[in-house]
């Protein structure tokens, strides 16, 4: 049996001879700058694309919580990295995307052993042309006959592009509605079972907007089948419970809003956080620096 493909990396090289990046970060930000740099490299290593998109407010907050620095320092920290070209200055300035070419280059041997290509540098969004809006395709759960098949075609005139998405047609529309209704009830009950106390709020009614998002998630097999795990992971995550710098708390609406939020939870992105300056805001505390040091040693954390 072939080994399953592995995405991301568990470790990266830590060279003892520094370039200019580490000394300047230490001089400007002290040991917090040194620690934040290696925390950032860890985040890049865990990312499937070895890049981070920090233009989203929640992603930005999660990043500074993981780095264990204030928002003011984070702004200056990333600006300095871009100035030093430790991260791609154009991607950061234009799109708030973190990409470190040297980091990926140092993983060349690893990807050669995997017989796959390393992730490539993201394109600037301003040069990427017009992209299609995200339009979820809702596919019912029920098993279908191979004879019942339909093709949904979406055309994007501005981009002069088209795509085809095949979905199984329901054998019985009434049965599909019943299955969706039953699934929706079970999902809400699962959330409410985990939201019996603060900081989470229970769901008492389904608005039209919520129903729209729920139908979209119903059409996604991963969410449809793994929502109990998704809810458990999020409600047990210190970051999602409010331990980040801004005290942000995940909500039911945030989970069902799109397919990106819950995917990151399943990938473990919200599982490990560093507690900022050793302080707790009264909510569930994030892992302390000692726990992070142990995790770093286990993963063989290093420099580029």
67 plus 25 within the same structural domain = yes
Verify that 40 and 110 share a domain, yes or no: yes
pLDDT (tens place) for every residue of the chain, 304 residues total: 445 445 555 555 555 456 788 899 999 999 999 899 989 998 998 888 899 999 988 889 899 999 999 999 999 999 999 999 999 999 999 999 999 998 888 888 877 887 888 889 999 987 654 343 343 333 333 333 333 433 333 333 343 333 333 334 344 556 778 888 889 999 999 999 998 878 999 998 888 899 999 999 999 999 999 999 999 999 998 888 888 777 889 999 999 999 988 898 888 887 654 444 444 333 334 444 444 344 334 333 333 3
Residue 176 lies in a domain: yes
Q: Would you state the pLDDT for residue 13? A: 58
Give yes or no: residues 104 and 176 share one domain.
Answer: no
- Residue-level pLDDT at 20: 85
> In degrees rounded to 5, what are phi and psi of residue 86?
-70, -30
- The predicted structure's pLDDT at residue 14: 57
Number of folded domains in the chain?
2
Within a domain: 187? yes
In a shared domain, residues 212 and 249: yes
187 and 257, same domain (yes or no): yes
| 117 in a structural domain | yes
- Residue ranges making up the domain that contains 183: 172-266
Residue 148 lies in a domain: no
User: Is 8 contained in some domain?
Assistant: no
Same-domain status, 181 and 254: yes
Domain assignment of residue 180, yes or no? yes
Cα separation, 234 vs 269, in Å, equals 10
Query: Are 90 and 176 in the same domain?
Result: no
């Amino acid at each position: 049996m072939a080994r399953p493909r592995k995405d991301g990396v568990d470790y990266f090289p830590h060279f003892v001879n520094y370039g200019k990046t580490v000394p300047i970060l230490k001089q400007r930000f002290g040991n917090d700058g040194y620690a934040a740099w290696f925390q950032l490299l860890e985040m890049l290593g865990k990312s499937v694309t070895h890049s981070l998109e920090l233009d989203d407010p929640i992603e930005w907050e999660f990043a500074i919580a993981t780095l264990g620095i204030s928002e003011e320092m984070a702004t200056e920290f990333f600006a300095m990295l871009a100035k030093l070209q430790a991260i791609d200055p154009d991607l950061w300035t234009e799109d708030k995307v973190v990409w470190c070419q040297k980091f990926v280059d140092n993983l060349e041997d690893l990807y050669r052993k995997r017989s796959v290509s390393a992730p490539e540098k993201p394109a600037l969004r301003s040069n990427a042309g017009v992209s299609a809006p995200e339009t979820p395709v809702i596919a019912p759960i029920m098993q279908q006959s191979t004879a019942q098949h339909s093709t949904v075609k979406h055309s994007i005139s501005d981009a002069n592009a088209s795509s085809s998405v095949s979905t199984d047609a329901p054998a019985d529309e009434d049965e599909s509605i019943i299955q969706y209704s039953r699934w929706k009830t079970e999902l809400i009950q699962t959330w409410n079972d985990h939201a019996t106390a603060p900081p989470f709020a229970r769901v008492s009614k389904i608005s039209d907007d919520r129903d729209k998002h729920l139908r979209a998630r119903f059409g996604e097999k991963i969410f449809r089948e793994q929502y109990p795990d998704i809810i458990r992971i999020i409600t047990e995550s210190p970051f999602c419970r409010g331990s980040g710098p801004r005290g942000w708390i995940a909500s039911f609406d945030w989970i069902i809003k799109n397919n990106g939020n819950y995917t990151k939870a399943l990938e473990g992105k919200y599982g490990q956080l560093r507690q900022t300056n050793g302080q707790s805001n009264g909510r569930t505390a994030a892992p302390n620096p000692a726990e992070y040091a142990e995790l770093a040693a286990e993963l063989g954390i290093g420099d580029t």
